[in-house]
Structure 1
Amino acid sequence: MRTTDQASAPSPSVLSGAHYLASPQVDAWIAGLHSAGEPDGPTAQELQSSFSWRVTRPIRAVRARERVALLKQRRLRFPPQPRTRSDGDRARVALEQRVRAVAPALLPSVGTAELAALPLERLLSELVQQVQSSGAKAELWLLVIAVSGCFPDQQMLFGLARDMVGVTGASAAQRILNHSAVWTIRYHAQLRTLRLVTDVPVVFTDQTAKFGFNSGIQRVTRQTVSRWAGREEFQLAALTDDGAGLRTLSLEEQGRVLDWQGDDDRDRDRDDRAEPDESDAELVVPWQTTFFIPEVPVGRGTDALAALTRFSRNRTVAIGYDTIPVSSGHLVHRGLSGLFVSYLSTIKYIDEIVAISNSTASEFVGFSEALATQGLPGFDVTTVHLPIEHIPADDGEPPVEPSLPVVLSVGSNEPRKNQLAVIFASEILWREGLEFSLVLLGGRGDKLYTDIPDAVAALRDQGRQIELRRDVDEHALAAAYRRARFSVFISLQEGYGLPIAESLAVGTPALATSYGSTAEIAAGGGCVTADPRDDRSVADGMRALLTDDALLDRLKAEIESRDDSTWEAYSDSLWSIVSPAGARS
């Protein structure tokens, strides 16, 4: 919503009498959508760029010559092509539904009954007149969604706005139809319907809804939003498969967000994985409400989200996790830095970032201040620290005490987590004669980064007590923390440091990074800190925790006396920012 080029003009108190479009024009526009490409088939560009199209060219040439010969002999028979009512008529019904859904927002001074009495062509004419008279890109953004069935990106919106300069009436209406048709055809959007959301926050839960994994960002999203369910009103939304809009969630997707029961999507990386069925989904269009982004959208769909944050009349709020993919790009997957830039291009127009730590807040404040060089006002940054709360354990028999002390290192498979330093420090201590078992546990991370499994395999061949486990559920994670004498999380850079919080949540002391967000957590007690860039510092910290029982007892006492937040308090704090009352304040 922060923008310097978003005009705002009062809506007309009565209908203008504009009548720029006739029924044949709208019918011809709809017919053009179907002649350009069937709604359920590939576009012409997609078809012609396919492998099948190229390899069948000789066959198509032969068949074409055969058809020409038959035509000259008057022997070619064209099979009847029944025109089902479901093509053009259904597209017209969908178009009318979308237009009537946005009409009260664009013509707020016109009564509901009066709007309902207008035929589609007259209503479209009135909406074009309103958008032209106001000059507001926010209203143009909303009208384009209604006509095209897609969320425009910034370039499309600017292109259309420039094309309408100096033209009025029927010419302006036709240009809106023409520009919208490009997007409707490209994304097969003619049958989409629209839900305009004006009275409750819209919550962006794309990856959390579509996939079952539960890494840090998804865990924060689920723990927060699930606590709002049943007591607050909000609208969940995910990106359409083509990234050209926001849509409602299926019941299965809602369950993944609000009632997660574990990873139900183990085959998500398969090339033949079926896309979600969106046939019953509606477009979700926030208008003059709060659009909340608890995830980190990257790549497909961010162009449309950037236009939403820049031009729509919504208050936009996001959780800020970190800027590591750009501030420490050498530490993340080689493709993530490029994708993350699309996220920054989205949030630079946002109203408020809610950082998860003071360190993260500093990163986003720096980015916000840098936006002045682009003539942008930047955004507000507040901090709501993530909680440290008890992790549930399995009911039943307590875990069997291990024969050797267990050192646990939790983190995904990527260089930034610095688990190679943990492995090296462990080898130093094994050579000194200390006996313990090292367990490395976490997500799969970068598949091309094999240093960790390679090192584990090499040390196991030498008889070292080391184990690598991936993709464990919440109960197994809690049990692993409880079995450990202490945990080690010496990441080179973090937005928060969830494994430290998890370890403390079950009463297990931790060895943590001596700077940044993890140091913020460690300052509350229960931790020893080390410089993750200094192997000797890491080994010294692990040695002390392995050999000094008095130190361990003191750290456990510190954990008991910590005064930490809870997920309930965290979700309440976020709702106070996201809710309509928070928007008014």
Structure 2
Amino acid sequence: MTAPDLATAAQAALAGRLRAVTPILAGTSGPDTAADPAVDAAILFEIVVSAVEDDLTDERVWLLMAALSAILPTRAEVDATRRRFQLDSAIDLRMHLLDTALARVQAAGTATTGIEVVVGEVLVDVDHSAKHDLHTGIQRVTRNLLPRWDTERSIVPVVWSLDNTALRRLSPAETSRVIRWGTVTPTTAATIDVAEPVTAEPPAVVVPWRSVVVLVEVPPGPANDRLAAIGSKSTNALVGIAYDVIPIVSADAVPPVESMKFARYLTAVKFASRMAGISAAATAEMRGFARMLPTQGLTGPVVSEVSLPAAGRQDPSARDSSRRDARVPMVLSVGSHEPRKNHLAILFAAERLWREGLAFSLQFIGGSGWGDEFPRVAADLKAAGRPLEVRKGVSDRDLNRALTDALFTVFPSLHEGYGLPVAESMAHGTPVITSDFGSMAEIAADGGAVTIDPRDDEQLVAAMRSLLTDPDRINRLRQEIADRPERGWAEYADELWAALVEPELARCTVAAADSRRMEGTR
């Protein structure tokens, strides 16, 4: 595209963005489109800026800024621009708005990008699951939740632009990765494609207005400043799932960079309207954070508990137990390889039991992780001939087979927001050894698990020895699993919608109707 053509395209894009917000800001659809896009943009620019001058609020400044640059502004940017409205002369203000917008679109490459203003909708941020193949705790929640909401509710799944300054709709490949995960063949890498979709035109930026923005994942770090503005400087409601506060509460158990990222996430959460904890433990952690916010003059989010599903009812007689009751039983541990998962304790307990002469194999299935001690100790045990296997990048099918084949699973984590491997083990009718506190104890309370103090190696050794040598106890635990109350992903999806979305969507819908009535009187 030549320079003149690019300039014309940029002028037309600016005119299109301004026309998209004119009905909201000025209460009119605006004049007919001028033949010259520069003239069209100039006319619309004056209409919307004058309208904001006449009714100056943070929300209207936020929307104007999004239209001028196709970038969602931060709280600081909204404050700075509102002050220019209050202090600058009419000419200086307009020059500042144009100069600032030009600098931003040049830096972000959004000069020819359009916007799509969505009113009264539910936007669901699925950035990580849409762009990556990683399929552990949070991603498993997203990929179980979104297909149900997509079928039964009206939602707009969104991801962040490459520079994390704006939201856009998902590409077909990203949609498949979130909505139809079972049809996607994961690549060997953790990431398939984090670049923008290749299209003839840049994807439109989605600008919410009187809508609900739902965080079902922890968003990318740089996006949090813009999410904070969505929650506090726009007409939208920001809500989300509270998984845990592990990077802060157990900062010693995660890499320092993860604690820094999570702290940025909390800067957005403190402007959320509602958060739903995935367990009583996660809810308590998030409520603790919310209780600190009045010291900043903030009310913080309303925090409720909507626990993840534990396990459906199982019929032990209907299951093929020939593989897991084989002569050499298999013990399984599922989870990322990081110190707080306590995998070194499992290796220690297994070696103790192997030295006692007990025959069993041990499998670890997990995704990402950090630290080098677990891989080193595991490699040493394998080199010594121990029946140990560490598997990564396992498909859902193979994971389900392993959970079915295992005599029992072991999950003695030191800190969890929920402990999905415990619930998934029970969903396959397989007993679990897990920790006797927090969310893991919550799941275990309905039966099917042996709880231990994960910091006491002797308790772990004794529990594993008991399940390896006492088939009657295994059978009792399997029956306890079969007798557990049934609550699945469908129930969770409905309960989460009722707790997070419905109250805020109702408020936004009423506000949108009031706004339309006011616009009609202008």
Partner residue in 2 for 1:105: 24
Is 1:457 aligned with 2:376? no
- Aligned-pair CA distance for 1:313: 0.6
Q: Which amino acid aligns with 1:500?
A: V
Partner residue in 2 for 1:476: 398
In structure 1, which of residues 118, 129, 150 is the aligned counterpart of residue 50 of structure 2? 129
In structure 1, which of residues 167, 180, 187 is the aligned counterpart of residue 108 of structure 2? 187
CA–CA distance in structure 2, aligned partners of residues 438 and 510 of structure 1: 14
Matches within 5 A, 1:104-253: 104-108=23-27, 110=28, 112=29, 119-253=40-174
SS of 1:301's equivalent in the other structure is helix
CA–CA distance in structure 1, aligned partners of residues 33 and 194 of structure 2: 43
In structure 2, which of residues 429, 432, 450 is the aligned counterpart of residue 507 of structure 1? 429
In structure 1, which of residues 551, 554, 557 is the aligned counterpart of residue 473 of structure 2? 551
Q: Which amino acid aligns with 1:97?
A: G
CA–CA distance in structure 2, aligned partners of residues 294 and 384 of structure 1: 13
- Contact preservation (8 Å) 1:212, 1:262: no
Partner residue in 2 for 1:78: none
Partner residue in 2 for 1:96: 15
SS of 1:164's equivalent in the other structure is helix
Deviation string 1:470-501 (CA, Å, 9 cap, x unpaired) is 11111111111111111000110000000000
- Aligned-pair CA distance for 1:352: 0.3
Partner residue in 2 for 1:534: 456
Identity %: 36
Count of aligned positions: 496
Q: Which amino acid aligns with 1:95?
A: L
- Aligned-pair CA distance for 1:226: 0.7
- Aligned-pair CA distance for 1:422: 0.7
SS of 1:86's equivalent in the other structure is helix
- Aligned-pair CA distance for 1:275: 5.6
Deviation string 1:65-98 (CA, Å, 9 cap, x unpaired) is xxxxxxxxxxxxxxxxx95542111001110111
CA–CA distance in structure 2, aligned partners of residues 369 and 576 of structure 1: 23
CA–CA distance in structure 2, aligned partners of residues 116 and 289 of structure 1: 28
SS of 1:281's equivalent in the other structure is coil
| Alignment TM-score, normalising by the size of structure 1 | 0.80
Change (3 A) 1:399 1:235: farther
- Contact preservation (8 Å) 2:332, 2:410: yes
State the Cα RMSD in Å.
Answer: 2.4
CA–CA distance in structure 2, aligned partners of residues 360 and 116 of structure 1: 53
Partner residue in 1 for 2:517: none
SS of 1:533's equivalent in the other structure is coil
Partner residue in 1 for 2:344: 420
Partner residue in 1 for 2:369: 445
- Contact preservation (8 Å) 1:200, 1:579: no
- Aligned-pair CA distance for 1:443: 0.8
Change (3 A) 1:281 1:265: farther
Is 1:344 aligned with 2:263? no
- Contact preservation (8 Å) 2:137, 2:420: yes
Q: Which amino acid aligns with 1:203?
A: V
- Contact preservation (8 Å) 2:239, 2:275: yes
When Rg is computed on C-alpha atoms for both structures, the one with the higher figure is 1
- Contact preservation (8 Å) 2:331, 2:360: yes
Q: Whose helix proportion is higher, 1 or 2?
A: 2
- Aligned-pair CA distance for 1:345: 0.8
Change (3 A) 1:157 1:227: same
Partner residue in 2 for 1:37: none
Structure 2, gaps ≥5 residues long:
508-522
Is 1:356 aligned with 2:302? no
Partner residue in 2 for 1:3: none
Q: Which amino acid aligns with 1:380?
A: V
- Aligned-pair CA distance for 1:398: 8.3
Change (3 A) 1:249 1:273: closer
- Contact preservation (8 Å) 1:154, 1:304: yes
Indicate the larger mover: 302-311 or 343-352: 302-311
SS of 2:86's equivalent in the other structure is coil
| Alignment TM-score, normalising by the size of structure 2 | 0.90
- Contact preservation (8 Å) 2:334, 2:365: yes
Structure 1, gaps ≥5 residues long:
1-81
- Aligned-pair CA distance for 1:262: 4.2
CA–CA distance in structure 1, aligned partners of residues 434 and 281 of structure 2: 15
